[in-house]
Amino acid sequence: MRHGVRPSACARFGALVVVVLLAAACGDDDAAAPTTNSTSTTTTTAAPTTSAAPTTVPPVTEPAVDPGEVRLDTIEVDDFVFDARLSGPAEGEPVFLLHGFPSTSDQWRHQIVALGEAGYRVIAPDQRGYSAGARPPDVEDYSIDLIAGDVVGMADALGIDDFHVVGHDFGGAAAWAVASLFSDRLLSVTSISTPHPAALVQTIESDDSDQAGRSSYVDTFVQPESELIFVANDAATLRSLYASQGLSEEEMEPQLSVLNDADAMRSALNWYRASFNASGLEVDRIDVPTMFIWSTGDQFLGPDPAHITGDFVDAGYRFEIIHDVNHWVPEMAADVVNPLLLDFLADPSALAPGEQTTGEHGAE
Protein backbone atom coordinates (compact mmCIF):
# COMPACT_ATOMS: atom_id res chain seq x y z
CA MET A 1 0.00 0.00 0.00
CA ARG A 2 1.72 3.19 -1.07
CA HIS A 3 1.48 6.53 0.69
CA GLY A 4 3.92 8.53 -1.39
CA VAL A 5 2.70 10.99 -3.96
CA ARG A 6 4.41 12.68 -6.87
CA PRO A 7 5.35 16.13 -5.50
CA SER A 8 5.15 17.91 -8.84
CA ALA A 9 1.67 16.51 -9.45
CA CYS A 10 0.59 17.65 -6.00
CA ALA A 11 1.67 21.22 -6.63
CA ARG A 12 0.02 21.31 -10.03
CA PHE A 13 -3.20 19.90 -8.63
CA GLY A 14 -3.34 22.46 -5.85
CA ALA A 15 -3.35 25.38 -8.24
CA LEU A 16 -6.18 23.88 -10.20
CA VAL A 17 -8.52 23.31 -7.32
CA VAL A 18 -8.32 26.89 -6.09
CA VAL A 19 -11.05 27.78 -8.53
CA VAL A 20 -13.42 25.27 -7.00
CA LEU A 21 -14.59 27.87 -4.58
CA LEU A 22 -17.85 26.90 -4.34
CA ALA A 23 -20.92 27.69 -3.50
CA ALA A 24 -20.83 28.57 -0.06
CA ALA A 25 -21.19 32.25 -0.64
CA CYS A 26 -24.88 31.82 -1.38
CA GLY A 27 -27.33 29.26 -2.71
CA ASP A 28 -30.59 28.99 -4.57
CA ASP A 29 -33.67 28.36 -2.44
CA ASP A 30 -36.12 27.08 -5.00
CA ALA A 31 -35.32 23.39 -5.32
CA ALA A 32 -37.50 20.77 -3.69
CA ALA A 33 -36.16 18.78 -0.78
CA PRO A 34 -35.42 15.10 -1.37
CA THR A 35 -37.87 12.43 -0.36
CA THR A 36 -35.36 9.85 0.86
CA ASN A 37 -35.49 8.51 4.39
CA SER A 38 -33.40 10.11 7.10
CA THR A 39 -30.75 8.15 8.95
CA SER A 40 -31.11 6.55 12.33
CA THR A 41 -27.98 6.86 14.41
CA THR A 42 -26.07 4.83 16.92
CA THR A 43 -22.89 5.88 18.67
CA THR A 44 -19.81 4.00 19.79
CA THR A 45 -16.92 5.36 21.80
CA ALA A 46 -14.44 2.72 20.68
CA ALA A 47 -11.99 3.85 18.04
CA PRO A 48 -10.54 1.40 15.53
CA THR A 49 -7.20 -0.09 16.47
CA THR A 50 -4.64 1.76 14.37
CA SER A 51 -0.94 2.47 14.28
CA ALA A 52 0.89 5.78 14.04
CA ALA A 53 2.46 4.55 10.81
CA PRO A 54 -0.34 3.72 8.36
CA THR A 55 1.90 1.51 6.21
CA THR A 56 2.19 -0.98 9.07
CA VAL A 57 -1.41 -1.03 10.22
CA PRO A 58 -2.85 -4.56 10.12
CA PRO A 59 -6.34 -5.13 8.74
CA VAL A 60 -9.04 -4.15 11.20
CA THR A 61 -12.25 -6.14 11.44
CA GLU A 62 -15.08 -3.66 11.91
CA PRO A 63 -18.41 -4.81 13.31
CA ALA A 64 -21.24 -4.63 10.85
CA VAL A 65 -23.74 -1.80 11.11
CA ASP A 66 -27.38 -2.76 10.79
CA PRO A 67 -28.98 -1.71 7.49
CA GLY A 68 -30.37 1.79 7.68
CA GLU A 69 -28.29 2.70 10.73
CA VAL A 70 -25.21 4.89 11.07
CA ARG A 71 -22.45 4.43 13.65
CA LEU A 72 -20.48 7.48 14.78
CA ASP A 73 -16.86 6.50 15.29
CA THR A 74 -13.29 7.71 14.94
CA ILE A 75 -10.42 6.74 12.63
CA GLU A 76 -6.81 7.34 13.68
CA VAL A 77 -4.24 8.21 11.01
CA ASP A 78 -0.79 9.08 12.35
CA ASP A 79 -1.35 11.97 14.79
CA PHE A 80 -4.87 12.75 13.53
CA VAL A 81 -8.21 11.46 14.74
CA PHE A 82 -11.03 11.76 12.19
CA ASP A 83 -14.68 11.67 13.20
CA ALA A 84 -16.69 9.57 10.79
CA ARG A 85 -20.11 8.17 10.02
CA LEU A 86 -20.01 4.48 9.15
CA SER A 87 -22.66 2.17 7.78
CA GLY A 88 -23.08 -1.16 6.06
CA PRO A 89 -21.46 -4.58 6.47
CA ALA A 90 -17.73 -4.91 7.14
CA GLU A 91 -17.38 -7.24 4.14
CA GLY A 92 -19.05 -4.83 1.71
CA GLU A 93 -17.18 -2.96 -1.01
CA PRO A 94 -15.85 0.21 0.66
CA VAL A 95 -17.15 3.63 -0.41
CA PHE A 96 -15.62 6.85 0.92
CA LEU A 97 -17.93 9.88 0.84
CA LEU A 98 -16.07 13.22 0.92
CA HIS A 99 -18.08 16.28 1.92
CA GLY A 100 -17.60 19.81 0.63
CA PHE A 101 -17.71 23.29 2.15
CA PRO A 102 -19.38 24.30 4.41
CA SER A 103 -20.61 20.81 5.17
CA THR A 104 -19.61 17.79 7.23
CA SER A 105 -20.16 14.07 6.79
CA ASP A 106 -23.79 14.74 7.69
CA GLN A 107 -24.14 16.11 4.14
CA TRP A 108 -24.28 12.48 2.99
CA ARG A 109 -27.07 11.38 5.37
CA HIS A 110 -29.32 10.22 2.50
CA GLN A 111 -26.52 8.43 0.63
CA ILE A 112 -25.03 6.77 3.73
CA VAL A 113 -28.26 4.93 4.44
CA ALA A 114 -28.97 4.01 0.81
CA LEU A 115 -25.48 2.63 0.23
CA GLY A 116 -25.36 0.82 3.56
CA GLU A 117 -28.70 -0.83 2.90
CA ALA A 118 -27.38 -1.94 -0.50
CA GLY A 119 -24.50 -3.76 1.18
CA TYR A 120 -21.66 -1.28 0.77
CA ARG A 121 -19.27 -0.48 3.58
CA VAL A 122 -19.69 3.29 3.86
CA ILE A 123 -17.09 5.62 5.38
CA ALA A 124 -18.03 9.30 5.52
CA PRO A 125 -15.35 11.23 7.42
CA ASP A 126 -15.31 14.77 8.71
CA GLN A 127 -12.21 15.71 6.80
CA ARG A 128 -9.01 17.53 7.73
CA GLY A 129 -9.88 20.77 9.51
CA TYR A 130 -13.46 19.67 10.17
CA SER A 131 -12.58 16.94 12.68
CA ALA A 132 -11.40 18.56 15.90
CA GLY A 133 -8.70 15.90 16.21
CA ALA A 134 -7.35 16.60 12.70
CA ARG A 135 -7.02 20.38 12.71
CA PRO A 136 -3.40 21.44 12.11
CA PRO A 137 -2.69 25.17 12.51
CA ASP A 138 -0.85 26.11 9.32
CA VAL A 139 -2.31 26.88 5.90
CA GLU A 140 0.22 24.65 4.15
CA ASP A 141 -1.15 21.69 6.10
CA TYR A 142 -4.30 21.83 3.95
CA SER A 143 -2.85 21.19 0.50
CA ILE A 144 -4.90 18.91 -1.69
CA ASP A 145 -2.24 16.17 -1.78
CA LEU A 146 -2.35 15.90 2.02
CA ILE A 147 -6.15 15.79 1.95
CA ALA A 148 -6.03 13.00 -0.64
CA GLY A 149 -3.43 11.23 1.50
CA ASP A 150 -5.81 11.36 4.46
CA VAL A 151 -8.32 9.27 2.52
CA VAL A 152 -5.74 6.61 1.75
CA GLY A 153 -4.50 6.75 5.34
CA MET A 154 -8.03 6.13 6.62
CA ALA A 155 -8.40 3.22 4.21
CA ASP A 156 -5.16 1.73 5.51
CA ALA A 157 -6.19 2.25 9.13
CA LEU A 158 -9.39 0.30 8.43
CA GLY A 159 -7.60 -2.51 6.60
CA ILE A 160 -9.08 -1.47 3.25
CA ASP A 161 -7.12 -1.97 0.04
CA ASP A 162 -9.28 -0.90 -2.91
CA PHE A 163 -12.28 1.41 -2.59
CA HIS A 164 -14.70 3.73 -4.37
CA VAL A 165 -14.50 7.46 -3.69
CA VAL A 166 -17.37 9.95 -4.06
CA GLY A 167 -17.04 13.68 -3.44
CA HIS A 168 -19.11 16.85 -3.65
CA ASP A 169 -17.94 20.47 -3.90
CA PHE A 170 -14.36 20.68 -2.56
CA GLY A 171 -14.82 17.03 -1.63
CA GLY A 172 -15.19 16.50 -5.38
CA ALA A 173 -11.82 18.18 -5.88
CA ALA A 174 -10.42 15.84 -3.23
CA ALA A 175 -11.92 12.86 -5.08
CA TRP A 176 -10.24 13.97 -8.33
CA ALA A 177 -6.97 14.28 -6.36
CA VAL A 178 -7.29 10.75 -4.99
CA ALA A 179 -7.95 9.47 -8.52
CA SER A 180 -4.94 11.38 -9.85
CA LEU A 181 -2.44 10.50 -7.12
CA PHE A 182 -3.64 7.07 -5.94
CA SER A 183 -5.32 5.53 -8.96
CA ASP A 184 -3.99 2.08 -8.05
CA ARG A 185 -6.18 2.09 -4.93
CA LEU A 186 -9.46 3.04 -6.58
CA LEU A 187 -12.34 0.97 -7.90
CA SER A 188 -14.04 4.13 -9.18
CA VAL A 189 -14.31 7.89 -8.70
CA THR A 190 -17.49 9.97 -8.66
CA SER A 191 -17.49 13.75 -8.49
CA ILE A 192 -20.73 15.61 -7.85
CA SER A 193 -20.88 19.22 -9.06
CA THR A 194 -17.09 19.69 -9.32
CA PRO A 195 -15.66 19.23 -12.83
CA HIS A 196 -12.15 18.00 -13.57
CA PRO A 197 -9.82 20.82 -12.43
CA ALA A 198 -8.19 21.11 -15.85
CA ALA A 199 -11.61 21.64 -17.41
CA LEU A 200 -12.32 24.31 -14.83
CA VAL A 201 -9.09 26.19 -15.49
CA GLN A 202 -9.53 25.96 -19.26
CA THR A 203 -12.96 27.58 -19.11
CA ILE A 204 -11.95 30.21 -16.56
CA GLU A 205 -9.22 31.31 -18.94
CA SER A 206 -11.56 31.36 -21.94
CA ASP A 207 -13.13 34.62 -23.09
CA ASP A 208 -16.04 32.57 -24.40
CA SER A 209 -17.05 31.21 -20.99
CA ASP A 210 -18.73 32.79 -17.97
CA GLN A 211 -16.95 30.47 -15.53
CA ALA A 212 -14.51 33.14 -14.33
CA GLY A 213 -17.43 35.17 -13.02
CA ARG A 214 -19.03 32.13 -11.43
CA SER A 215 -15.76 31.43 -9.56
CA SER A 216 -15.17 34.99 -8.38
CA TYR A 217 -15.93 34.34 -4.70
CA VAL A 218 -12.51 32.85 -4.10
CA ASP A 219 -11.06 36.29 -3.35
CA THR A 220 -13.31 36.55 -0.31
CA PHE A 221 -12.70 32.99 0.86
CA VAL A 222 -8.91 33.37 1.05
CA GLN A 223 -8.86 36.71 2.87
CA PRO A 224 -7.52 36.76 6.44
CA GLU A 225 -10.30 36.26 9.00
CA SER A 226 -12.92 35.54 6.35
CA GLU A 227 -14.15 32.87 8.74
CA LEU A 228 -15.69 35.60 10.86
CA ILE A 229 -18.20 36.30 8.09
CA PHE A 230 -19.65 32.81 8.51
CA VAL A 231 -19.85 32.64 12.30
CA ALA A 232 -20.97 36.21 13.09
CA ASN A 233 -24.44 36.82 14.53
CA ASP A 234 -24.91 33.25 15.69
CA ALA A 235 -23.69 31.90 12.35
CA ALA A 236 -26.33 33.74 10.34
CA THR A 237 -24.46 33.23 7.06
CA LEU A 238 -23.98 29.54 7.73
CA ARG A 239 -27.61 29.13 8.64
CA SER A 240 -28.71 30.78 5.40
CA LEU A 241 -26.51 28.41 3.43
CA TYR A 242 -27.96 25.39 5.17
CA ALA A 243 -31.46 26.73 4.58
CA SER A 244 -30.65 26.83 0.85
CA GLN A 245 -30.04 23.08 1.13
CA GLY A 246 -33.57 22.60 2.42
CA LEU A 247 -32.50 21.99 6.02
CA SER A 248 -34.68 22.79 9.00
CA GLU A 249 -33.13 24.32 12.13
CA GLU A 250 -33.02 20.85 13.68
CA GLU A 251 -31.37 19.34 10.60
CA MET A 252 -28.71 22.07 10.58
CA GLU A 253 -27.51 21.21 14.05
CA PRO A 254 -25.01 18.39 13.23
CA GLN A 255 -23.12 20.70 10.86
CA LEU A 256 -23.47 23.85 13.00
CA SER A 257 -22.08 21.92 15.96
CA VAL A 258 -18.85 21.52 14.00
CA LEU A 259 -18.54 24.77 12.05
CA ASN A 260 -20.14 27.43 14.28
CA ASP A 261 -16.69 28.12 15.64
CA ALA A 262 -14.03 30.48 14.29
CA ASP A 263 -11.19 27.97 14.63
CA ALA A 264 -13.10 25.25 12.80
CA MET A 265 -14.23 27.62 10.08
CA ARG A 266 -10.70 28.97 9.67
CA SER A 267 -9.43 25.43 9.16
CA ALA A 268 -12.17 24.67 6.63
CA LEU A 269 -11.30 27.83 4.66
CA ASN A 270 -7.62 26.87 4.78
CA TRP A 271 -8.41 24.36 2.02
CA TYR A 272 -8.93 27.37 -0.27
CA ARG A 273 -5.99 29.33 1.09
CA ALA A 274 -3.63 26.38 0.61
CA SER A 275 -4.81 25.88 -2.97
CA PHE A 276 -4.42 29.60 -3.67
CA ASN A 277 -0.77 29.38 -2.60
CA ALA A 278 0.06 26.45 -4.90
CA SER A 279 1.60 26.79 -8.34
CA GLY A 280 1.42 25.02 -11.70
CA LEU A 281 -1.48 24.16 -13.98
CA GLU A 282 -1.26 20.50 -15.02
CA VAL A 283 -3.06 17.52 -13.55
CA ASP A 284 -3.05 13.88 -14.51
CA ARG A 285 -5.71 12.47 -16.75
CA ILE A 286 -8.01 10.06 -14.94
CA ASP A 287 -7.60 6.37 -15.68
CA VAL A 288 -10.12 4.84 -13.27
CA PRO A 289 -13.85 4.41 -14.03
CA THR A 290 -15.47 7.81 -13.56
CA MET A 291 -18.92 9.29 -13.08
CA PHE A 292 -19.55 13.04 -12.99
CA ILE A 293 -22.93 14.33 -11.80
CA TRP A 294 -23.73 17.98 -12.52
CA SER A 295 -26.89 20.05 -12.05
CA THR A 296 -28.08 22.73 -14.43
CA GLY A 297 -29.10 25.06 -11.59
CA ASP A 298 -25.59 25.26 -10.14
CA GLN A 299 -24.82 28.96 -9.88
CA PHE A 300 -21.12 28.46 -9.27
CA LEU A 301 -20.01 25.62 -11.55
CA GLY A 302 -21.47 26.19 -14.97
CA PRO A 303 -22.05 24.13 -18.11
CA ASP A 304 -18.77 24.94 -19.85
CA PRO A 305 -16.37 22.97 -17.61
CA ALA A 306 -19.02 20.33 -16.99
CA HIS A 307 -19.38 19.47 -20.66
CA ILE A 308 -15.63 19.10 -21.30
CA THR A 309 -14.72 17.13 -18.17
CA GLY A 310 -14.88 13.92 -20.19
CA ASP A 311 -11.97 15.21 -22.30
CA PHE A 312 -9.71 14.58 -19.30
CA VAL A 313 -10.85 11.01 -18.55
CA ASP A 314 -9.26 8.04 -20.30
CA ALA A 315 -11.29 5.37 -18.50
CA GLY A 316 -14.98 4.69 -19.04
CA TYR A 317 -16.92 7.86 -18.24
CA ARG A 318 -20.52 8.62 -17.31
CA PHE A 319 -21.78 12.20 -17.40
CA GLU A 320 -25.12 12.54 -15.62
CA ILE A 321 -27.05 15.83 -15.81
CA ILE A 322 -29.77 16.70 -13.29
CA HIS A 323 -32.02 19.52 -14.40
CA ASP A 324 -33.27 22.41 -12.27
CA VAL A 325 -31.38 21.61 -9.07
CA ASN A 326 -29.02 24.01 -7.31
CA HIS A 327 -25.48 23.34 -6.14
CA TRP A 328 -26.46 21.18 -3.17
CA VAL A 329 -27.07 18.05 -5.20
CA PRO A 330 -26.61 15.28 -2.57
CA GLU A 331 -29.16 16.96 -0.32
CA MET A 332 -31.60 18.42 -2.85
CA ALA A 333 -31.68 15.56 -5.38
CA ALA A 334 -31.00 12.46 -3.31
CA ASP A 335 -33.84 10.66 -5.08
CA VAL A 336 -31.86 11.00 -8.32
CA VAL A 337 -28.31 10.75 -6.96
CA ASN A 338 -28.82 7.57 -4.95
CA PRO A 339 -30.02 5.41 -7.87
CA LEU A 340 -27.22 6.79 -10.06
CA LEU A 341 -24.62 5.88 -7.45
CA LEU A 342 -26.04 2.41 -6.87
CA ASP A 343 -26.12 1.71 -10.60
CA PHE A 344 -22.59 2.96 -11.23
CA LEU A 345 -20.97 1.34 -8.20
CA ALA A 346 -22.52 -2.03 -9.07
CA ASP A 347 -20.53 -2.18 -12.30
CA PRO A 348 -18.13 0.78 -12.68
CA SER A 349 -16.23 -0.94 -15.49
CA ALA A 350 -19.33 -1.41 -17.64
CA LEU A 351 -17.92 1.18 -20.04
CA ALA A 352 -14.68 0.34 -21.80
CA PRO A 353 -11.73 2.74 -21.55
CA GLY A 354 -12.49 5.76 -23.72
CA GLU A 355 -16.22 4.99 -23.88
CA GLN A 356 -18.48 7.81 -22.68
CA THR A 357 -22.22 8.17 -22.08
CA THR A 358 -24.46 11.08 -21.10
CA GLY A 359 -27.73 10.82 -19.18
CA GLU A 360 -30.26 13.49 -18.30
CA HIS A 361 -32.63 13.48 -15.34
CA GLY A 362 -35.33 15.66 -13.83
CA ALA A 363 -35.45 16.19 -10.10
CA GLU A 364 -38.38 14.33 -8.55
Instruction: Answer for the pair 344, 318: CB distance below 8 angstroms, yes or no.
Output: yes
pLDDT given at position 299: 87
- The pLDDT, as a whole number, for residue 75 is 98
Cβ within 8 Å of residue 129, ≥6 positions away:
135, 136, 142, 264, 267, 268, 270, 271
Amino acid at 52: A
pLDDT, residue 283, reads 64
Q: Domain 8-362: what homologous superfamily?
A: Alpha/Beta hydrolase fold, catalytic domain (3.40.50.1820)
State the pairing for strand pair 121-125/80-87. Answer: antiparallel
pLDDT, position 47: 35
Show contacts of 227-233: CB within 8 Å, 24+ apart: 227/262, 227/265, 227/266, 227/268, 227/269, 228/262, 230/24, 230/102, 230/259, 230/265, 231/259, 231/260, 231/261, 231/262, 231/265
Walk along the chain (364 residues) and give the pLDDT tens digit of each residue.
333 333 333 333 443 433 333 333 333 433 333 433 333 333 333 333 333 333 333 344 455 567 678 999 999 999 999 999 999 999 999 999 999 999 999 999 999 999 999 999 999 999 999 999 999 999 999 999 999 999 999 999 999 999 999 999 999 999 999 999 999 999 999 999 999 999 988 888 888 998 877 877 777 888 888 899 999 999 999 999 889 888 889 989 999 999 999 999 999 999 999 987 654 435 689 999 999 999 999 988 999 999 999 999 999 999 999 999 999 999 999 999 999 999 999 999 999 999 999 999 997 6
Q: How far apart are the first and last CA of the chain?
A: 42
Q: Domain extents for the chain?
A: 8-362
Q: Is 343 buried (19+), middle (13-18) or exposed (0-12) by CB count in 10 A? A: middle
